[in-house]
Structure 1
Amino acid sequence: MDEIITELMSTLRDKYLSQIWFALEHNKELKRSFPAFLLNPDNICIYLGKNHLAIEYVGPYKKEIVDGWEINFTINDYSESENLIEEIVGLKFNGTGIPVPIIDEMDDLFVATDEATTILVDNNWNFLAQEMMFCLNTNGLILAGEKQMRIRNSYFYAKSGDGLKVRNIQWMDIFPISRKDVDEDHEEIGVHLWSNITSLALRDSRYTIPEKFDFQFDKLTILNRFIELFNSENVSETDITRFLSQPEHHFILNMAFFGQYVSDEIECAWVGEPDRSAIRPDFLITASNGFADIVEFKLPDLKSNSAVVGRNNRETFSAELHSYIAQTRVYSEYFNDPRNREFVKNTFGIQVYLPRRFLVVGRRLMFPPELWRAIENDYSNITIRTYDDIVATVMGFLAR
């Protein structure tokens, strides 16, 4: 197996990827819109099936492309499986419609189960923002092409537990293979690449992943990715903050919290108290008045069953929420010291004084509105926002 993969990757590097690199070097403008993950992938995933071999390129779309990139790849053997593409996607589609056939080049596929579609609709996922071919209520995926096939910029959705499982394929090439027995323990596998590999490389060097250039729809597409993320199975706080920290995603925070500039996870040391652990707020968002507020993200699902406990006019937030609020209180303590404020201003260029604290946690249905407002009033200088509040606020700005 390793010998086959080594020979295959060597051929692709010499006859395909090197041709793309040559074209980009002779036309620098192409580098601005070319998907960087094709030449500088974080990983290349290779999937071996009974009759096909698939190569998936994984990595960031936009970054500086460099020569001599060291390629890491993983190998997945699905030779015993009857359906390679469903093994790759890793989702089960059991609708009443027909299977979605993968033929030739398939760009911008959207394939979702009915249950997953319901989750997206309930969370204000915007269908009009996506330039995609929608396939709903499908009964599976099949490789129907007889020659080489390709899937690009495509999304697959299924319900998992109470959330979503999302599979994105940025770029995947699928090749027919032939198998020939050598002896009882060995077989020879032939991978049938493109016959016009050089001309295809030249064409691919001019490929750009379709993006709308209209401001509103570009932002709606990104907002869709955010909705998918916080509804996904096993999403972590780090997943959420990493997504929002990307510069092209800062508009979500700026719109939701009326900011102009976003600073993420800066390390703020305690001046005069070197033994105390530095604080690292998720985000400091600078408003138009030049002062920054603190925004901290927790998970959309609470570990406890309820956000509010107690009864008979003695309701209060749960212990879980109390612990989150206590964390933000440490941030207030830090910025109450003028020495710490001066350190942050001189080191990071961020001015913080009496910052408002925002805690993003949970979903709107977890908080009875009037009761929640009454309890929140008991806490000094903190505002609790749900993920639904964030989406609704951003959608309101984009709609206007």
Structure 2
Amino acid sequence: MVSISSASWKSLVQELEDLINSPQVLERDLQQFFEQNPEFLCGDAYEEARPHVVLQREGNGPLIPDFALKPSNSNALCDLLELKLPKARLLRISKNRVRLTSAIMEACAQLREYQSYFEDHEKRISVERMYGLRFFRPRMMVLIGKRSDYEATALRNAETDVPNLQIVTYDDILERARSRMRRR
């Protein structure tokens, strides 16, 4: 991974924060930012965030996840990340219960389709040959919303409704980036 100067990293963090806080931001704006700055998605666990890997299917058209995350450990398997908007709500809170919103459940359904694709051995081999990425039952991650909008316990409690889904918020990405900035 290319080393970025402290001033450049600070500028990129500000650019991402501005995107996140813009009411006009579109998923494609975020996609473009992360394609140009994959280190925001990679953290320490992944060496590469590969955009738009095409998963070919007969008759139904291809599936195209936003990012395939290639782990730093060459023996580990890749994971999938889907981008949603920072303004998306994570929880629906009613008098007696807290639950995940339809935006989260829609992302979950989308990711589950991608995950199911890799149950087929031939499809896994094809993707590995084409992209050099190894998959089997990839972890499903969605980057969505802001954690700061909710009590930590309410979000943690609701997250248990879909145990195979990892919810990553834009706050999480910014905090990890700021932490990296402090260590420079």
Q: What's the TM-score, normalizing by structure 2?
A: 0.88
Partners of 1:328 and 1:398 in 2: CA distance:
31
- Deviation at residue 337 of structure 1 after TM alignment: 1.9
Describe the shift of the 1:233–1:309 C-alpha distance in structure 2 as closer, same or farther (beyond 3 A).
closer
- 2:48 and 2:71 in contact (8 A); partners too: yes
Unaligned residue ranges in structure 1 (runs of 5+): 1-212
Q: Which residue of 2 aligns with 1:230?
A: 20
The answer to which structure, 1 or 2, has the higher relative contact order (CA under 8 A, 6+ apart) is: 2
- Deviation at residue 231 of structure 1 after TM alignment: 1.6
Describe the shift of the 1:216–1:310 C-alpha distance in structure 2 as closer, same or farther (beyond 3 A).
same
- Deviation at residue 224 of structure 1 after TM alignment: 1.4
Q: Which residue of 2 aligns with 1:244?
A: 34
- Deviation at residue 286 of structure 1 after TM alignment: 0.7
Identity level (%):
26
Describe the shift of the 1:219–1:268 C-alpha distance in structure 2 as closer, same or farther (beyond 3 A).
same
Describe the shift of the 1:389–1:217 C-alpha distance in structure 2 as closer, same or farther (beyond 3 A).
same
- Deviation at residue 352 of structure 1 after TM alignment: 1.3
- 1:254 and 1:260 in contact (8 A); partners too: yes
Unaligned residue ranges in structure 2 (runs of 5+): none
CA distances 1:317-376 after superposition (whole Å, capped 9, x unpaired): 122321122111111111222222111101111111221111111112333211211221
1:340 has 2:127 as partner: no
Q: Which residue of 2 aligns with 1:297?
A: 83
CA distances 1:155-175 after superposition (whole Å, capped 9, x unpaired): xxxxxxxxxxxxxxxxxxxxx
- 1:259 and 1:287 in contact (8 A); partners too: yes
Q: Which residue of 1 aligns with 2:161?
A: 378
Q: Which residue of 2 aligns with 1:262?
A: 49
1:315 has 2:98 as partner: yes
Higher normalized helix content (fraction of residues): 2
Other structure's SS at 1:269 match: coil
| Structure number with bigger Rg | 1
- 1:309 and 1:318 in contact (8 A); partners too: no
How many residues are aligned here?
179
Partners of 2:149 and 2:108 in 1: CA distance:
17
After TM superposition, the structure 1 = structure 2 runs for residues 1-400 of structure 1, keeping only pairs within 5 Å, are 215-246=5-36, 249-255=37-43, 258-270=45-57, 274-290=58-74, 291-302=77-88, 307-312=91-96, 314-400=97-183
Partners of 1:235 and 1:279 in 2: CA distance:
24
Higher normalized strand content (fraction of residues): 1
Partners of 1:230 and 1:264 in 2: CA distance:
19
- Deviation at residue 299 of structure 1 after TM alignment: 0.5
